[in-house]
Structure 1
Amino acid sequence: MKLHVLVVDDAVIVRNRVSKILSTVPEIEAVSVAASGKIALLKIPQVNPDIIILDVEMPEMDGLETLVEIRRQYPKLPVIMFSALTVLGAATTLDALMLGANDYATKPSNLTSIEAANQHILTELVPKIKALSAVETRFIASPASTVSYKNVTNQDAINQDAINRVSTSIDIVAIGVSTGGPNALAEILPKLPADFPAAILIVQHMPPMFTKLMAERLASKCQIPVAEAICGTTVKPGHVWIAPGDYHLLVERDNNTVKLVTNQAPPENSCRPAVDVLFRSVAKVYGNKSLGVVLTGMGKDGLQGAEHIHACGGHIFVQDQASSVVWGMPGFVANAGLAESILPINQMAGAILRLVADN
């Protein structure tokens, strides 16, 4: 299927560079450009794009305002936010993801290096364009909950027949997520109670600054503490740690305690942090006391790690296709037969609570 892409950016050098590079991709039939949000809204019915690349910071009508109007008029049109790798760019991009943008990509940091800029655009944008061009935009509500794990009943969403592993306490919940992750995490974490009895470790594919800001935003919505992981921290129940951008996150046993470890070992699955790295370490340290959760995302990061958790007697849940922005990561795990439960995102917190309460 040939794709038509609309690039919206007020900087002429960015518009020209992105449109030129995307035009060389065989799957892309045409690339149109717009210098502002208002022009983009006028062009959409004219060029009928399959996907929009939308600048975050624009004068008069910025990316957020444009996104809101796109979502109002074209709720299923995929949108990728294109932001600078800055604190302001990261904060605005997270706002955009919460408002319904499907994904984001970072702009080249050095447009004077033509070869590096071109490669960055190809690496950052093309896989996401291909992955999102055939999916519908999905919106995820994120209501908070005050349920206590001690009061979870059999009415909570989980298929108990699917849980046929040896019953044991769950000490760790490891979550892997990519495209669509901020909304998915905002659906799950605020529903977990302050007395949640396991630690939670998260790998979200994001660059530096983005992960720190996401942790801060989630912390403001949750009953349990949420923070970006710091190497050497002792793992404790009822706490959430998110892998810092550009660093792998894993756990290591230190006598009678377990510590967080971060490092910059080579990327895996073209990712750092990588879900596989976290899941393998969780399987090694916690064995059958672990639960791996694979949520929406491109690619297959998490598949090998899920195999390790499954092999040592741990549990695996995955998000279902209908509620995933992209059913890549969870789809690979599900199709490998590793998932005990395949759940819509609005039932995942209940499933996690149910499993932890029953063990």
Structure 2
Amino acid sequence: MSVALANPLSPTSTRQPPLKVMVVDDSVVIRGMISRWIASEPDMVVAASLRTGLEAVNQLDRINPDVAVLDIEMPELDGISALPQLLAKKRNLIVIMASTLTRRNAEISFKALSLGASDYIPKPESTRAAHAADIFHHDLIQKIRTFGAKLRRTAQPQATPQLAPAPSPAIERMRGLAPRPAAVQAAPLPALARRAFGAQAPRVLLVGSSTGGPQALMSLVTELGPVIDRFPVLITQHMPPTFTTILAEHLARASRRPAHEAADGETVKAGQIYLAPGGRHMRVVKHGMDAQIALDDGPAVNFCKPAVDPLFMSAIEVWQGAIMSVILTGMGSDGMRGGKEIVAAGGSVIAQDEATSVVWGMPGSAANAGICAAVLPLNQIAPKLVRLFSGDRS
């Protein structure tokens, strides 16, 4: 989860109609604040500002929004009850759950993801806390814009072939549009460069993820038993405090192996999954013959805290080139810089492919940087890791 500000992502295209956003929250203060933020963006508009989930369900057909920002705790019909009804009426509706940082709301947010919500975002406990409100503002606009752009790309109808060659698919993707067919068959784009896997047998597995990460991580660890039993697994997921506590419990259940939020100073051991706690960077340091967890409360990295790059970079001092790293779905480019250094040290990077990523930001950055030994669908990553940690070097 982002914890520092950057300018919100620029609009993906001025040729598209603005994204229609429905704000659903029983707090008039929160509704007004979110509505003002959305109204100030050139590529989105407030389609409705509603007080309850029941109003949202009843008025969805009339409003026909692209995105819904849905509070969890509301009278008449709460967010988790309204969610399946909204998606039943409009299957491709982007729903971003908004909740305060309580254990109960964290559990509900995880349930919402399993029911079809696109993402979640923690609301500030007080709108009078300027820094917290700024973080909420930045993250919400970024999520609306990113998911809206993906929705537009998947839903855009095929355009009529044009007399002049259309812009290249790569340029169109940069603009946030689906590639348009050209009148003349274009030459195929070159495949992304791949590196050979590192020559050393890996002794640790590092994983970085963000948007869409909880679902991807749950799927991944379910099949990683043979790796976890023999090697340590360290995970950084962009996520706030409390949410990481719940995620660790879910990972333990999914993997049937010990998983917990890492503690400062604990020794890294095989058979364990260590998760970076929300709001703190997780690094590793050498302590005699062992590796040790080092947590810090330093500034955000890549606008995130915890961030993936600190974990990736610090691991090189401990394991040199015997590192296997995986970058899963997520916004931004966190992990790419650390992945470069891992590869330079002799380690390897695997990225999740675009088709199975909720957002192909982090893995796409790594893939396009040419540092990956493989770019794989999510369901192929765990089997590949099991083979690699068993001695397969290809």
TM (norm. structure 1) is 0.88
> Partner residue of 1:224?
257
> Partner residue of 1:273?
306
Amino acid aligned to 2:108: T
Preserved CA contact (<8 Å) 2:206 2:312: yes
The alignment status of 1:285 with 2:284, answered yes or no, reads: no
Deviation of residue 108 (structure 1)?
2.0
In the alignment, the residues of structure 1 paired with residue 238 and residue 132 of structure 2 have an alpha-carbon distance, to the nearest angstrom, of: 21
Cα distance per residue 1:268-306 (max 9 Å; x no partner): 111111100000011222122101100000001111000
Deviation of residue 117 (structure 1)?
6.3
Equivalent residue runs for 1:112-123 within 5 Å? 112=128, 115-116=130-131, 118-123=133-138
The alignment status of 1:128 with 2:126, answered yes or no, reads: no
Judged with a 3 Å threshold, the aligned counterparts in structure 2 of structure 1 residues 120 and 250 are, in CA distance, closer, same or farther, namely closer
> Partner residue of 2:272?
239
RMSD of Structure 2 on Structure 1 (CA) = 1.9
Alignment counterpart, residue 258 of structure 1, candidates 291, 296, 305: 291
> Partner residue of 2:178?
none
The 10-residue stretch of structure 1 (190-199 or 19-28) with the greater mean CA deviation from structure 2: 190-199
In the alignment, the residues of structure 2 paired with residue 215 and residue 128 of structure 1 have an alpha-carbon distance, to the nearest angstrom, of: 24
In the alignment, the residues of structure 1 paired with residue 225 and residue 128 of structure 2 have an alpha-carbon distance, to the nearest angstrom, of: 50
In the alignment, the residues of structure 1 paired with residue 27 and residue 254 of structure 2 have an alpha-carbon distance, to the nearest angstrom, of: 36
Preserved CA contact (<8 Å) 2:262 2:277: yes
The 10-residue stretch of structure 1 (44-53 or 307-316) with the greater mean CA deviation from structure 2: 44-53
Deviation of residue 355 (structure 1)?
1.0
Amino acid aligned to 1:80: I
Deviation of residue 33 (structure 1)?
1.4
Gaps of 5+ in 2: 1-15, 153-193
Alignment counterpart, residue 108 of structure 1, candidates 124, 128, 131: 124
> Partner residue of 1:169?
201
In the alignment, the residues of structure 1 paired with residue 135 and residue 299 of structure 2 have an alpha-carbon distance, to the nearest angstrom, of: 18
Cα distance per residue 1:221-272 (max 9 Å; x no partner): 2222111101111111121000001110011111111111111111111111
Paired residue secondary structure (1:358):
coil
Larger radius of gyration: 2
In the alignment, the residues of structure 2 paired with residue 46 and residue 318 of structure 1 have an alpha-carbon distance, to the nearest angstrom, of: 41
> Partner residue of 2:210?
178
In the alignment, the residues of structure 1 paired with residue 19 and residue 206 of structure 2 have an alpha-carbon distance, to the nearest angstrom, of: 36
Preserved CA contact (<8 Å) 1:321 1:327: yes
Cα distance per residue 1:78-128 (max 9 Å; x no partner): 111100112222121121122221111111221245x55652442221111
Deviation of residue 197 (structure 1)?
1.8
Deviation of residue 209 (structure 1)?
0.7
Amino acid aligned to 1:70: L
In the alignment, the residues of structure 1 paired with residue 123 and residue 225 of structure 2 have an alpha-carbon distance, to the nearest angstrom, of: 38
Judged with a 3 Å threshold, the aligned counterparts in structure 2 of structure 1 residues 28 and 136 are, in CA distance, closer, same or farther, namely closer
In the alignment, the residues of structure 1 paired with residue 112 and residue 95 of structure 2 have an alpha-carbon distance, to the nearest angstrom, of: 10
> Partner residue of 1:205?
238
Judged with a 3 Å threshold, the aligned counterparts in structure 2 of structure 1 residues 120 and 274 are, in CA distance, closer, same or farther, namely closer
Deviation of residue 167 (structure 1)?
3.1
In the alignment, the residues of structure 2 paired with residue 61 and residue 117 of structure 1 have an alpha-carbon distance, to the nearest angstrom, of: 27
In the alignment, the residues of structure 2 paired with residue 164 and residue 303 of structure 1 have an alpha-carbon distance, to the nearest angstrom, of: 17
Preserved CA contact (<8 Å) 1:188 1:345: yes
Cα distance per residue 1:1-49 (max 9 Å; x no partner): 3211001112222212211222112221334112111211222221221
TM (norm. structure 2) is 0.81
The 10-residue stretch of structure 1 (303-312 or 41-50) with the greater mean CA deviation from structure 2: 41-50
Alignment counterpart, residue 4 of structure 1, candidates 11, 17, 20: 20
Gaps of 5+ in 1: 138-161
The alignment status of 1:73 with 2:89, answered yes or no, reads: yes
The 10-residue stretch of structure 1 (65-74 or 126-135) with the greater mean CA deviation from structure 2: 65-74
Preserved CA contact (<8 Å) 1:171 1:237: no
The 10-residue stretch of structure 1 (64-73 or 221-230) with the greater mean CA deviation from structure 2: 64-73
Paired residue secondary structure (2:206):
strand
> Partner residue of 1:91?
107
Preserved CA contact (<8 Å) 1:317 1:339: yes
> Partner residue of 2:184?
none
> Partner residue of 1:155?
none
The alignment status of 1:13 with 2:46, answered yes or no, reads: no
> Partner residue of 2:64?
48
Paired residue secondary structure (1:85):
coil
Deviation of residue 136 (structure 1)?
4.8
